[in-house]
Amino acid sequence: MEQAGVDLILFAGGDGTARNICNSVSDAQPVLGIPAGVKIHSGVYAVTPSAAGEVVAMLIRGELVGLREQDVRDIDESAFREGRVRAKRYGDLLVPEEGRFVQQVKQAGREVEALVVQDIADYFRDEIMEDDVLYLLGPGSTTQGVMDILGLENTLLGVDLICNETLIASDMTEQDILKNIKDKPVKLLVTAIGGQGHLFGRGNQQLSPDVIRMIGRENILVLATKTKIRELDGRPLLLDTGDTELDKALCGTMTVLTGYNDRILYPVTTL
């Protein structure tokens, strides 16, 4: 199912089922358990089956739904054989939670935009960036924050290419991009236009249908502060690549990095 590109895997069971899921999916795949087992120590289950339905309904309605890593736990069989009942941690899964805003950086109860952008950039550098992988950075102040953290010159309204914390090319055209990323591991960092929500097709035409197809949906990382997402007032992120079939393939929900180890699921649709 993960390979098919599903937005969320729902499963029913207990801790044993959660362990099976943990062993079968990547740490980037959102899942949610419907409690139906005899023993449930894991934090990957909704409180009740109806609560699981509420979370799914929120996703369908396009409401903000956060993502967090939760422990998968099960009975420690060795301890159980010795007559002790103890839960043991076996891993973690990425689980949706109710989309309330929990600000990590506050000023009078509101996000401090510049500090949150720095948090996003720090998390990318600390936890996401891989050696020998090319990273394309689209236009915008949020992606500029990544370049600032890395100490690299940024083209605010253009597309830049980096690898191993080194600037490879800047202000690239579509043909520049295609030439540089062909047959290489590459990922794209992109942000939406504030207030409008356009992900592709406005202000980043260098990221053409051919470029996006070469990169692949699974290698697109969306960056945005929750303030920017709130400005959309529940409207989805928009696609207008000029290629109807590509727009349809990109539709669904995407994980948006909104802070340091802070992510939400958000709907993406075509015009």
What's the pLDDT band for 194 if we cut at 50, 70, 90? Answer: low
* Rounded-to-10 torsion of CA 162, 167, 168, 170: 100
Report percent pLDDT > 90 for the chain: 52
Tokens 């422990």 -> residue: 71
**Is pLDDT of 252 > 80?**
yes
Contact (CB, 8 A) for 14 and 34: no
| Other Cβ atoms closer than 10 A to 252 | 15
pLDDT at 22 over 50: yes
Beta-ladder partners of 264? 66, 256
Report the relative pairing of strands 160-163 and 166-169 from DSSP bridges. Answer: antiparallel
pLDDT tops 70 at residue 66: yes
Residue 202's pLDDT is: 87
Average pLDDT, whole number, for the chain? 86
* Residue pLDDT, tens place only, 91-126: 889 988 764 322 223 333 445 788 889 999 999 999
Query: Residue 80's pLDDT band (boundaries 50, 70, 90)?
Result: low
Greater model confidence, 194 or 267: 267
Q: Tell me: the pLDDT tens digits for 29-45?
A: 999 999 887 667 788 88
pLDDT at 242 over 80: yes
Question: What is the SS3 string spanning the chain?
Answer: CCCCCCCCEEEEECHHHHHHHHCCCCCCCEEEEEECCCCCCCCCECCCHHHHHHHHHHHHHCCCEEEEEEEEEEECHHHHHCCCCCEEEEEEEEEEEECCCCCCCEECCEECHHHHHHHHHHHHHHHHCCCCCEEEECCCHHHHHHHHHHCCCCCCCCCEEEECCEEEECCCCHHHHHHHHCCCCEEEEECCCCCCCEEECCCCCCCCHHHHHHHCHHHEEEECCHHHHHHCCCCCEEECCCCHHHHHHHCEEEEEEEECCEEEEEEEEEC
Q: Taking phi first (over 0 means left), then psi (-120 to 50 degrees means alpha), and beta for anything else, what does residue 185 get?
A: beta
| 172 token code pair | 């690239």
| Buried-state track 2-35, b at ≥16 Cβ within 10 A, e below 16 | eeeeeebbebebbbebbbebbeebeeebbbbbbb
- Average of per-residue pLDDT across 18-34: 92
What residues contact 97, with CB distance under 8 A and at least 6 apart? 55, 65, 66, 67, 68
Q: How confident is the model at residue 239 (pLDDT cuts 50, 70, 90)?
A: very high
Paired tokens of 214:
């070469």
* Highest-scoring range by mean pLDDT, 88-102, 104-118, 189-203, 238-252: 238-252
Closest CA to 123 of 223, 261, 28: 261
